[in-house]
Amino acid sequence: MTMTTTMATNETKIAFLGLGGMGTPMARRLLAAGYGLTVWNRTSARAEALVAEGAVAAASPAEAVRGADVVITMLADPAAALAVADAMIPALRAGATWIDTSTVGPDTVRELVSRLPDGVAFIDAPVMGSVDRAADGGLLILAGGETAPVDGLLAELGSVRRCGEVGTGAALKLVLISGVIGGVALLAESLRLAGALGLPEDLTRSALEASPLGGLVGRLFATEAHFPVALAAKDVGLALATGVGGLPVLEAVHGVLASRPDLATSDVSSLHP
C-alpha cells in the first residue's frame, strides 16, 4: 500500500470520531489549539458541547472524514472500530492520515490497515492515561507507524513513544495496560487482606506507597481518573485473546473484572473495598 502524508499544521482539517470519556477532552484540546475540527459520535448529543466551542458536527463517519487531512478515532472496542472503519473508509481522501487511539489490539489494527486504500497513512496510537491526563495533555501515546508529519498535533495530546512499525503501539498498549490493571487488582486485594488482619488503612497505604508499588497505589486511590471496570475487562481480554499461553494471573484478573457487572461503569479504583 503506497502512503503519502502532509505535515500537520493549524490549517490541518481534523476529523475526530468517538466522543466518550477520553475522546471528548482529547478533541477539546485540539480545538483549543486552533485546529479546524469536525466531530462525530454515535450518540450525537455528546458533540453538542464541542460544537458550542467551535467544532462542526457530522451526521455520519463518512461525512466527518470527507476532505479531512487527519482522522482520529477513539472507539470503545474492536467491533466499534471495524464498524466505523467500514462507514468512513470510502470517504477518506488520498493523502489523509488516520490515527487510531483506541485500544483494540494488534490483530484489529492489521485488519483495519488491510481495508485501507492506497494513499492513506495509518498510525496506531493507543494512549496510557485516563480522563485527567486527556484533559491536561499528559497522555502517553504509544505510536506504531510514521508519526513525524503529525508530531505537532500529537504533542497537544501528550508525549509520544515511537514503538516501531504499525501494530507495535497496539501491542505495547496491551502489555502496559495488563500490568497496570493486574497491579491495581492485586493492590485492592492487599488492602482487603490488611483490613481483615486489623491493620489501619492509612498505615497500609503509606507502607505500600513507600514500596516499589507506589505508583500503582496512586492509581488505586485516584479521584480524577475514570477507567471503567468493563473497559478494563475488555483490555485484559484482548491481551488474552492474542493466544499467548502461560498467563494464569492475567486470566484470574480478567475473571475478577468480568464477574463484577455491578461495577461495569465504575472506575477500576472501585475494586478497593
> Which residues, in sequence order, are bridge partners of residue 72?
16, 99
Residue type, 180: V
How far is it, in rounded angstroms, from Cα 170 to Cα 205?
A: 33
| DSSP sequence for 146-214 | --GGGHHHHHTTEEEEEEESTTHHHHHHHHHHHHHHHHHHHHHHHHHHHHHTT--HHHHHHHHHTSTTH
Q: Are strands 127-128 and 121-124 parallel, antiparallel or unpaired?
A: unpaired
Q: Other CB atoms closer than 10 Å to residue 44's CB: what's the count?
A: 14
Distances in Å between the Cα of 165 and the Cα atoms of 71, 105, 160 are 19, 14, 14
From the candidates 29, 133, 173, 219, which is the catalytic residue? Answer: 173
Known catalytic membership, residue 173: yes
Q: How far is CA 2 from the centre of its chain?
A: 27
- Please answer whether residues 37 and 70 qualify as being in contact, where contact means their C-beta atoms are separated by less than 8 angstroms: no
Q: What is the grid cell recorded at 5?
A: 502524508
Q: CA torsion sign, 84 to 86 to 91 to 96? A: positive
Q: Which residue has the cell 493549524?
A: 10
Q: What are the angstrom distances between the C-alpha of 39 and each of 3, 30, 54, 134, 240?
A: 24, 11, 11, 17, 33
What are 19's three cell numbers? 466522543
Which residues form the catalytic set?
A: 173
